[in-house]
Homo-oligomer: A and B are copies of this chain.
Amino acid sequence: MAYYEADTFGHAVRTGRPVAEMCASKGTSFEHFGAKQAHYDNHAVIYYEGDPAKRLYELASGTVMLYKLLPDGRRQVVEVLRPGDLFGLSGAEENDCTAETLTDAKVNEIDLRHVEKSADLQRHLTKCLTKQMRVLHEHAVLLGRKSAVERVASFLMHLVPNRGGLGCVGPVDDTEDGYDLQLHMTRQEIADYLGLTIETVSRVVSDMKRRGIIRVDRSDKIHLNKVCGLCQMTGMH
């Protein structure tokens, strides 16, 4: 079924020409620019830090993380990507991060030599990179200035659509302000993303559970009882 979609996209490539409007209207996905789509299983490495950078990647579905390692094994997850995000552009001969899937993922891949040529694609790149840069800025604040509780609260809030950010719509309903979410990361991955240890993440989650802010149905299935309450804990209000 997933494979079907790939074929559909492949077809679009064969018939379509790069058209700015198509790109702009659809927002994400650049299969129009001669990309081939690849599938990756859960926890598959797409490329390693230090590998020669050959392709530009666009995440079509699923989740991918980018991380860097220090020689002694410390790891920092620098980005958690969602569909539409780009990766593989390191600005050098070699990739600056390792890219690894967090779920099954579909990825559009374009040879870097082709990227240079298309003006529409360049415009698309600028837009995507700018957006990702904004996220990196906010994450720098989290890593540099937030407490463990604020980091975890911010992390959870980012998984709730249309809440917490600039376009926060507030509680939909006065009495009900819950939200069910599915984590695609282990505690270790979350810790490495938030610049904490696995034990600290676990303790903060347990604490939120004890205080009735969240309910943990399974370690990767968490119900937020009060989204607004959680948002107050992010350090941003």
Interface residues of A (CB under 8 A from B): 66, 68, 70-72, 74-76, 78-79, 89-92, 94, 96-97, 116, 119, 122-123, 125-127, 129-134, 136-141, 143-146, 166, 192, 194-195, 235-237
Contacts and interface: CB of A to CB of B under 8 A. Distances in A.
Nearest to A70: B235
B123 A78 contact: no
A145 B70 contact: yes
A140 B140 contact: yes
Contact of A132 (B92, B122, B133): B133
A66 B137 contact: yes
Which has the most chain B C-beta neighbours within 10 Å: A66, A132, A143, A236? A143
A5 B144 CA distance: 38
Contacts of A91: 127, 130-131, 133-134
Contact of A143 (B125, B126, B127, B195): B195
B76 A144 contact: yes
A97 B143 contact: no
Given A131-B91, A145-B195, A195-B145, A78 B140 contact: yes
Contacts of A74: 145, 235
A134 B68 contact: no
Contacts of A90: 130, 134
A94 B74 CA distance: 35
Contacts of A66: 137
A85 to B, nearest CB: 12
21 contacts: A68-B140, A68-B141, A70-B146, A70-B235, A70-B236, A71-B237, A78-B136, A78-B137, A78-B141, A89-B133, A91-B134, A94-B166, A96-B137, A97-B137, A122-B123, A122-B125, A125-B126, A126-B126, A129-B129, A136-B140, A143-B195
B139 A140 contact: yes
Nearest to A237: B71
A76 B137 CA distance: 9
